[in-house]
A and B are shown apart, each in its own frame.
Chain A
């Protein structure tokens, strides 16, 4: 043995079982092994259900009740850790292992001050007195980069921003000088700019304090930016492990290649995302061709892509949200969510609207689709005002023309209705079919056009996965025979390989039917891959709009440049010599 210090975490042949009702056993993790040395960040990646969080929880002693360790061993700092009892000789959770969770909004107790949450573990585990613990808490807050730490000690969690709260959570994890920190999706709930700061903080901690970090994440860009080693998991099994550069640049396993290929690139635009398996070609293409013929006939005009005039114009749009009640005197000052925004979308293009959370992009989507009324300005559809000044009531064809796809596939389909009735609703409502039988065949064609089997009509939404539900949501939007579809974060709650499939589907549908898409997203890479033109928003204002290529290659506004530089991508892999 050459290594003088033992690894901070060594997992050997770990297997975690969940006994099921019928006496069967679901194996969440099978034969997983990994080693983390001091100062090393080891990323555990995979899609939902891969078992990565189960490993993280097991190491933290948080394995939920029916689950049990069926085989294998976990050694922390060279000592055997008995995860079933949550204890080990000389290992105390919370002292030797620190935890950072996904959501900084819920991982701090809102009823206690930052000081009491930070000092609690130190007083309990290290036996520090009140003054000593406070001094150490101050030190910790300074080391995680919180401004004015003395004042922040007295603050309650709600008085801090999301990024600051995550820093406090990290400080708490560090409070007892752990050898190992388990970070489960530590930046998933954060905006890009905050994410960049937190990632840098984690890297610094590993380098300066020699802490080993187990980073559980689904984001390949994050992995590329800070991890030393990567383990890719798929359905409970480790499919590939190695240094970050090896795994991300030269993946050997087919699944690893597919997963990495599905990550949207920000540096160049590809025609399609490479995806695993067959996407249901053939019947789907036929169905789309039929759909196109019908859309053209209904549009009563030339091919929309030949038309240079804007299909949608947003002019000086403002939206205020008023606070308080409706009684006189109880109204607070209104909050301006969208501030004087103007842009126009040409027929047949994909127009992207990007920005961080709270920038007003979803409000614009809601105004365009008629869910929210503007406070000032107007929205024109083919030259007619549909919202704001001089708006005509949205009924009939005007209503039909603009449809929407939502972010959360689990709440966007009514759980009490069969897929068939969900999809036929717009068709029957707008009398797009003369008979019920015709409506049913329309529904079958829509389902096939989005790449599913027509039999899906008989089933209820809960029988489908997230990706399949999103396909059905798209089919419903197409049912009204729209000209413009507003896509509000259509893939942000999906796994990366499913995201690739849905984005490919949207591209195919656009190409096949000449639809116009307004794509709302916080993910710059997705926007680059999908959009012809892009507008960047911040705090309700539109900062910059340009052709996609121009914007990504030569961003004008400093905020755009900053955003682009902060996105973790696969182009910049840690440990790799920088390209010139």
Chain B
């Protein structure tokens, strides 16, 4: 998905409307800022020595009583909010991306197997998927992270929490990949080039990976973009509920949760800015994803 979105020129050639181009640029900008957080952030919010409680809850620089050192103000610990957001966006995107990657790998593999072999294997995989989809995303993710915390004491630490979160999100999302890939694989498997590969005697693994996978990949890329936004949201929700990233290494969701406690005492900025960043990121990725889906869905494509 990154390769598809990497050049605005490509979007122009594909005939993207201006809103999609703006969204793509915005999304890329936010991803770039997040990735370069350690270079561009004024402070290191993970370094406990870099902030002091005396600076806690300072309003943004442009507001009355603002401190010019802290552009968007500080949180309840005296952390620079801008730095915390940049680092938080990095965590959110990393977890979202990781979850998409894990879900896509799992879903594509199982979808290929189900579509290629059919019969019992297909029925088994798809019924497991149906059962998983009958749980709400958040409930399942809460369940997974709750179980992980119960049996594994280190689960809530900054090192392990991201991995737990990735698994908790991916366990629900792979089903969508599996369903799409299974359907596309069934269509491709019936085509003569796959029969030809079977007659040549190629082993199933090679037929699936070398022949079928490239032909079903475009739909996977499209779902991935839309799912990235959903995964970032799920992560934010979990962190907001307090089962995600710890306050010492906050994601955007954690920051919103912290800010939520102060909203009614007039300290609006801690919740507002991270929330705004999250909305813009998710919206931008969704707009690009929707456009990609329409562009690559042959049923929706307009005849030229």
Residues of A participating in the B interface, judged by any CB pair closer than 8 Å: 325-326, 369-371, 394-395, 399-400, 402-404, 406-408, 411-417, 425-426, 429-430, 473, 476-477, 480
Within 8 A of A (CB), among B188-226: 191-193, 195-202, 211, 214-215
Contact between chains at A429 and B199 (CB < 8 Å): no
Contact between chains at A371 and B200 (CB < 8 Å): no
Contact between chains at B192 and A406 (CB < 8 Å): yes
Q: Give every chain A residue within 8 A of B192 (Cβ-Cβ).
A: 406-408, 411-412
Supplied contacts A411-B193, A429-B201, A477-B196, 16 more A-B pairs, CB within 8 Å: A326-B119, A370-B199, A394-B201, A399-B200, A402-B199, A403-B199, A404-B199, A406-B196, A407-B192, A408-B192, A412-B196, A415-B215, A425-B202, A426-B200, A429-B200, A430-B201
Q: Give every chain A residue within 8 A of B201 (Cβ-Cβ).
A: 394-395, 399-400, 426, 429-430, 480
Given A399-B201, A403-B200, A429-B200, A414:B211 Cβ within 8 A: yes
Q: Name, among B197, B199, B200, B211, the residue most crowded by chain A CB atoms within 10 Å (CB to CB).
A: B199
Complex Cα gap A417–B210 (Å): 9
19 contacts between A and B (CB under 8 A): A371-B198, A371-B199, A399-B201, A406-B192, A406-B195, A407-B192, A411-B191, A412-B192, A414-B211, A414-B214, A414-B215, A415-B215, A416-B214, A425-B200, A425-B202, A429-B200, A429-B202, A476-B196, A477-B196
Q: Give every chain B residue within 8 A of A370 (Cβ-Cβ).
A: 198-199
Q: Which 7 A-B pairs have the closest CB atoms?
A: A399-B201, A412-B192, A406-B192, A416-B214, A411-B191, A414-B193, A404-B199
Contact between chains at A413 and B200 (CB < 8 Å): no
Complex Cα gap A411–B215 (Å): 12
Cross-chain pair count, CB within 8 angstroms: 59
Q: Give every chain A residue within 8 A of B123 (Cβ-Cβ).
A: 325-326
Shortest distance between the CB of A226 and any CB in chain B (Å): 34
B120 interfacial contact with A, CB 8 Å: yes
Q: Give every chain A residue within 8 A of B215 (Cβ-Cβ).
A: 414-416
Complex Cα gap A457–B274 (Å): 54
Q: Give every chain B residue within 8 A of A416 (Cβ-Cβ).
A: 214-215
Q: How large is the interface on B (under 10, 10 to 19, 20 to 34, 35 or more residues)?
A: 10 to 19
Complex Cα gap A459–B201 (Å): 24
Q: Give every chain B residue within 8 A of A395 (Cβ-Cβ).
A: 201
Shortest distance between the CB of A527 and any CB in chain B (Å): 21
Shortest distance between the CB of A305 and any CB in chain B (Å): 24
Shortest distance between the CB of B7 and any CB in chain A (Å): 22
Q: Name, among A394, A429, A480, the residue most crowded by chain B CB atoms within 10 Å (CB to CB).
A: A429
Q: Give every chain B residue within 8 A of A394 (Cβ-Cβ).
A: 201
Complex Cα gap A213–B216 (Å): 46
Across the interface, name the chain B residue whose C-beta is closest to A416. Answer: B214
Given A399-B201, A429-B202, A371:B195 Cβ within 8 A: yes
Complex Cα gap A477–B192 (Å): 13
Residue of A326, A408, A411 near B120 (CB, 8 A) is A326
Shortest distance between the CB of A477 and any CB in chain B (Å): 8
Residues of B participating in the A interface, judged by any CB pair closer than 8 Å: 119-120, 123, 191-193, 195-202, 211, 214-215
Shortest distance between the CB of A317 and any CB in chain B (Å): 18
Contact between chains at A480 and B200 (CB < 8 Å): yes
Complex Cα gap A326–B119 (Å): 7
Shortest distance between the CB of A290 and any CB in chain B (Å): 21
Shortest distance between the CB of B191 and any CB in chain A (Å): 4
Shortest distance between the CB of A373 and any CB in chain B (Å): 13
Across the interface, name the chain A residue whose C-beta is closest to B211. Answer: A414
Complex Cα gap A549–B146 (Å): 79
Contact between chains at A404 and B202 (CB < 8 Å): no
Shortest distance between the CB of A394 and any CB in chain B (Å): 7
Across the interface, name the chain A residue whose C-beta is closest to B201. Answer: A399
Across the interface, name the chain A residue whose C-beta is closest to B118. Answer: A326
Complex Cα gap A411–B196 (Å): 10
Q: Give every chain B residue within 8 A of A402 (Cβ-Cβ).
A: 199
Complex Cα gap A200–B122 (Å): 49
Complex Cα gap A394–B199 (Å): 10
Q: Give every chain A residue within 8 A of B200 (Cβ-Cβ).
A: 399, 403, 425-426, 429, 476, 480
Q: Give every chain A residue within 8 A of B193 (Cβ-Cβ).
A: 411-414
Complex Cα gap A325–B119 (Å): 8
Complex Cα gap A402–B201 (Å): 10
Q: Give every chain A residue within 8 A of B202 (Cβ-Cβ).
A: 425, 429
Q: Give every chain A residue within 8 A of B199 (Cβ-Cβ).
A: 369-371, 402-404
Shortest distance between the CB of A259 and any CB in chain B (Å): 28
Contact between chains at B196 and A473 (CB < 8 Å): yes
Shortest distance between the CB of A410 and any CB in chain B (Å): 9
Shortest distance between the CB of A360 and any CB in chain B (Å): 17
Shortest distance between the CB of B217 and any CB in chain A (Å): 9
Q: Name, among A399, A413, A414, the residue most crowded by chain B CB atoms within 10 Å (CB to CB).
A: A414
Q: Give every chain A residue within 8 A of B211 (Cβ-Cβ).
A: 414, 417
Complex Cα gap A415–B194 (Å): 11
Complex Cα gap A473–B191 (Å): 14
Shortest distance between the CB of B302 and any CB in chain A (Å): 12
Q: Give every chain B residue within 8 A of A413 (Cβ-Cβ).
A: 193
Across the interface, name the chain B residue whose C-beta is closest to A480. Answer: B200
Shortest distance between the CB of B196 and any CB in chain A (Å): 6
Shortest distance between the CB of B296 and any CB in chain A (Å): 14
Complex Cα gap A293–B275 (Å): 74
Across the interface, name the chain A residue whose C-beta is closest to B119. Answer: A326
Shortest distance between the CB of A462 and any CB in chain B (Å): 13
Complex Cα gap A407–B190 (Å): 13
Complex Cα gap A416–B202 (Å): 17
Complex Cα gap A430–B201 (Å): 9
Shortest distance between the CB of A465 and any CB in chain B (Å): 17
Across the interface, name the chain A residue whose C-beta is closest to B194. Answer: A414
Q: Give every chain B residue within 8 A of A429 (Cβ-Cβ).
A: 200-202
Across the interface, name the chain A residue whose C-beta is closest to B195. Answer: A371
Q: Give every chain B residue within 8 A of A369 (Cβ-Cβ).
A: 199
Q: Give every chain B residue within 8 A of A404 (Cβ-Cβ).
A: 195-196, 199
Q: Give every chain B residue within 8 A of A430 (Cβ-Cβ).
A: 201
Shortest distance between the CB of A365 and any CB in chain B (Å): 10
Shortest distance between the CB of B203 and any CB in chain A (Å): 9
Complex Cα gap A480–B199 (Å): 10
Shortest distance between the CB of B71 and any CB in chain A (Å): 49
Q: Give every chain A residue within 8 A of B120 (Cβ-Cβ).
A: 326
Across the interface, name the chain A residue whose C-beta is closest to B120. Answer: A326
Complex Cα gap A415–B197 (Å): 13
Complex Cα gap A180–B214 (Å): 50
Complex Cα gap A253–B166 (Å): 72
Across the interface, name the chain B residue whose C-beta is closest to A461. Answer: B193
Q: Give every chain A residue within 8 A of B191 (Cβ-Cβ).
A: 411-412
Across the interface, name the chain B residue whose C-beta is closest to A407. Answer: B192
Shortest distance between the CB of A395 and any CB in chain B (Å): 7
Complex Cα gap A425–B120 (Å): 30
Shortest distance between the CB of A156 and any CB in chain B (Å): 26
Across the interface, name the chain A residue whose C-beta is closest to B193. Answer: A414
Q: Name, among B120, B123, B195, B196, the residue most crowded by chain A CB atoms within 10 Å (CB to CB).
A: B196
Complex Cα gap A371–B201 (Å): 10
Shortest distance between the CB of A330 and any CB in chain B (Å): 11
Complex Cα gap A429–B215 (Å): 21
Shortest distance between the CB of A417 and any CB in chain B (Å): 8
Q: Give every chain B residue within 8 A of A403 (Cβ-Cβ).
A: 199-200
Complex Cα gap A430–B192 (Å): 21
Q: Give every chain B residue within 8 A of A325 (Cβ-Cβ).
A: 123
Q: Give every chain B residue within 8 A of A415 (Cβ-Cβ).
A: 215
Shortest distance between the CB of A142 and any CB in chain B (Å): 41
Complex Cα gap A371–B197 (Å): 11
Shortest distance between the CB of B210 and any CB in chain A (Å): 8
Complex Cα gap A193–B199 (Å): 33
Across the interface, name the chain A residue whose C-beta is closest to B217. Answer: A416
Shortest distance between the CB of A515 and any CB in chain B (Å): 15
Q: Give every chain A residue within 8 A of B197 (Cβ-Cβ).
A: 425
Shortest distance between the CB of B121 and any CB in chain A (Å): 10
Across the interface, name the chain A residue whose C-beta is closest to B198. Answer: A371
Across the interface, name the chain A residue whose C-beta is closest to B202. Answer: A429
